[in-house]
Amino acid sequence: MDILTGKWVFDRKLNNKGETIRFRARWVVRGFLQQQGVHYTKSYAAVVSGPTSRSLFAISAAKGWKAKAIDYVSAFLNGILPQHEMVYMQLPTGIKHGRGGLVGLLRQSLYGMKQAARVWYFLATEHLTTLGFKISPYDGGFLYHPIRKIYLTLHVDDCRVTGPQEQQLDWILAEIAKRFETKDVEENKPYLGMEVKRQMNGDLAVTQNRYIDEILEDFGMDKVNPASTPMAAGIRLEFSPDEDSGLDDDFTATRYRQGLGSLQYLVSSSRPDLAFAVNYLSRFNSRPHKECWAALKHVLRYVKKTKDHGILYKKEMIGGLSPVAYSDSDWAGADPQYKSTTGYIILLNGSPISWRSQRQTSVAKSTTEAEYIAASEAACEVIWLNDMLFDAGLVEGKAKVCSHLRVDNKGAIDLAKGESLTRRSRHIEIRYHILRDLVEKGEIMMEHVGSTANIADGLTKPLARPAFEEFVKRIGLMEIGKKG
């Protein structure tokens, strides 16, 4: 019999001002001791994706919908373990065990167990589906009620709902509270590390001020001079032959990776302006050197200057509620392996809901090829978003609308239309030709824009200050502190 051990974990619960409101102690399983096939079978649990959450931010702001949220209290403790998963563990320390040598057979999940999130997800969604909700086939953490017009996102124990009728939101929160112990939270309460605040004019602002303060303090960068851009224009780093080359005892390769990991959460939540810098520096994770560390500190100096910047989802209808994508690439660029960088950003009503900056997996032979690959990646993302919104009834009209994809390379557009197949392009990997199929079916409408009008440019290379400030403005980022 394999017996798992546990430990007491002590924590503080904070309010939205960072103040301690209560202390708590929890007996948890040492999940790292679990063996797959012995203590659990599967561990994956769906959570709502960032683009889905941001799409609902944009739509609820534009339509003036209210949003409400609840926390499931001790969510994982509600999960019932499958009968075939026999898990034994020691009894909590400090509790009298009666006869010596006794252990516990777990019937319900505990925090720390590898399968706890999965067991909880199926329990929560099973309850919601009995109330008439449907799980989106495009995002397992997004559920909607087709009759009551309620749109719900689930991220472990955080639940957020929005919709046109406030009484329907109250209904679902009351129904959930009948089944589980819950706690109502304010709409402006921090959500997944983001401060989501309704402004006086109805706009919805998303920032991460407190998280940024924690990063800066952790790395001793809270009192440094700020920088105006994340990276110097024209920067080019090279690989070092030795790990930690040029780093001192305080800033090791591990510390470098921790810094990038902290910044990556900012990128994935609310800061597309950091996407290229963080992705570029991540290419040197295996062997960072002093130039890498200096560049990372430069990013942190920029983060300090723009701590109050975030995304503003506007109540005013300015760009429509159909996703519009921009894609770009920097052919070869500053990459040591001469691989191009893909960049794309997708807007909904003029504000960003999805973005990406990533090194391409193969060397492109031309700018057209690099742009075509980037456009293919962007097309897949915007089609997914459009299909998800249409499936949930969030796109107006009975027919699915065509998704617009804007690029600044005419050769890539011709290639997508099947008008430019030559010796220089026929080697392109088959998977990227999904773009040609989507264009032929009329699901993607490719449009040419000038290079200066392509807002994805800042996701492919470091820009000089004037160009970068224009990029930040055009992708919908702004200083939020003075708003509302």
Sign of CA dihedral 23, 27, 29, 30: positive
pLDDT of residue 429: 61
pLDDT of residue 98: 60
Inter-residue contact 315 to 201 (CB < 8 Å): yes
Inter-residue contact 135 to 154 (CB < 8 Å): no
Q: How far apart are the first and last CA of the chain?
A: 60
Query: In the numeric block, which tokens belong to residue 176?
Result: 């959930």
pLDDT of residue 243: 57
Number of H helices, E strands in the chain: 11, 20
pLDDT of residue 426: 64
Outline which parts of the chain fall under CATH 3.30.420.10.
Answer: 317-449
Query: In the Cβ-directed half-sphere of 381, how many Cα atoms lie within 13 Å?
Result: 28
Q: Which residues contact 153 (CB under 8 A, 6 or more apart)?
A: 48, 52, 53, 56, 141, 142, 143, 159, 160, 161
Which residue type occupies 354?
S
40 alpha-carbon distance from chain centroid: 28
Whether this model's pTM surpasses 0.85: yes
- What single string gives the DSSP state of each residue in 55-66? HHHHHHHHHT-E
Query: In the numeric block, which tokens belong to residue 370?
Result: 């690099």
**How far is the C-alpha of 123 from the C-alpha of 109, rounded, in Å?**
12
Q: Is 15 helix (H, G, I), strand (E, B) or coil?
A: coil
pLDDT of residue 484: 43
Instruction: Kindly give the parts of the chain with pLDDT less than 70.
Output: 1, 16, 97-101, 185-188, 241-250, 319, 396-399, 419-430, 481-484
Neighbours of 484 (CB within 10 A): 14
Task: Tokens 């995304």: give the residue.
Answer: 311
**How far is the C-alpha of 338 from the C-alpha of 362, rounded, in Å?**
9
- 246-291 pLDDT per residue, tens: 555 567 888 999 999 999 999 999 999 999 999 999 998 888 888 8
- 195-253 pLDDT per residue, tens: 888 888 989 999 999 999 999 999 999 889 999 999 998 888 887 766 555 555 567 88
Tell me the pairing of strands 403-407 and 324-330: parallel
Give the right CATH number for 317-449 from 3.40.50.1980, 3.40.50.300, 3.30.420.10, 3.40.50.720.
Answer: 3.30.420.10
